Amino acid sequence: MSNKIGNGYGHSKIILIGEHSVVYGYPAIALPLKNINILCHIKKSDKSLRFDLSDPVSTALYTSLESLNQKDACVEYSICSEIPQRRGMGSSAAVAIAVIRAVYDYFGKTISDFELEKLVNQSEIAAHGNPSGLDAKTCLSDVPIKYIRNIGFKSLEFSLDAYLIIADSGIYGKTSQAVDLVAQNELINRPYLKELGQLTEKVESAIKTHSLEELGHLFDKAHKNLEKIGVSIPEINVLVEESRKSGALGAKMSGGGLGGCIIALAKTYEEAKTIASHLEEKGALKTWIEKV
């Protein structure tokens, strides 16, 4: 085993609709972003690791080594990531998946999806405090999913022949702070959270009927609700607004908020490119175009 390198990968994700309301038991829809990846390599070292269980990567290393009875193993790790951190693109879940897979690979063991998800969620607790499990589930899925906390998920395979523009505001998202903020004003926020849940159902219907205009309109409505519960910020609102001005069918923030990313919907690749470059002119740090 001495020269062996353990390899593990994970991929990014983006929430289409239902962030925050998913914490309260309402449905959410999210997509894996399989072209935006993270890799972890594990190799032998001359000393064992020191763990910090407030850190998601360290938690993933600890839980996976512990589950293999190898807590004191002399190993070191390296991570190579295309996923920007703390932008609502699932970097914490994806890195945990990559680390756990790499640890298991290093020891020549396989891990079931069930066990992997359990370990990832422990690492997500270190990252977000009270995760709904949506990020872990989406980063473990190869297809879009509809997810309900504590109930389960179903695959939503669809092809809309449309394009999603993802734009990074360049500002760190603050998921646990945003989740706490929503909880502090739960009574006031309840109607907006309920409506977000209803919008998720409508998004599922619009996907089924390929109603792109309706889908864009639902994104706009969801963004308004997310603003009302206080998880958007002016810089994000500007990107949402500019998406619409440059031809998007609709746009919204995505993920925990207080920073992070927005998503916008376009009918054609040409339109998506126009919107993406307009957003970069208006301050987006980076954009991605995903066929949906």
In the complex, the residues that contact ligand MEV under the rule CB under 6 A are 15, 19-20, 22-23, 88, 128, 131-132, 134-135, 175, 179, 255-256
Please state the closest distance from residue 161 (CB atom) to ligand MEV, in A. 27
- Identity of the residue, 57 or 134, whose beta carbon is nearer to ligand MEV in the bound complex: 134
Residue 14 CA to residue 23 CA, distance in Å, equals 16
Q: How far apart are CA 80 and CA 47, in angstroms?
A: 22
Three-state secondary structure of 177-229: HHHHHHHHCHHHHHHHHHHHHHHHHHHHHHHHCCCHHHHHHHHHHHHHHHHHC
Nearest distance from C-beta of residue 229 to ligand MEV, angstroms: 10
Residue 93 CB, nearest distance to ligand MEV (Å)? 8
Smaller CB separation from ligand MEV, 53 or 183:
183
Contact 206, 218 (CB under 8 A): yes
Nearest approach in angstroms of CB 171 to ligand MEV is 15
Nearest to ligand MEV of 246, 254 (CB atom): 254
Nearer to ligand MEV, 96 or 212 (CB): 96
Which residue minimizes CB distance to ligand MEV? 132
Q: Residue 78 or 185: which CB sits closer to ligand MEV?
A: 185
To the nearest whole angstrom, how small is the minimum distance from the Cβ of residue 287 to ligand MEV?
A: 19
For residues 187 and 195, the answer to whether their CB atoms sit within 8 Å is no
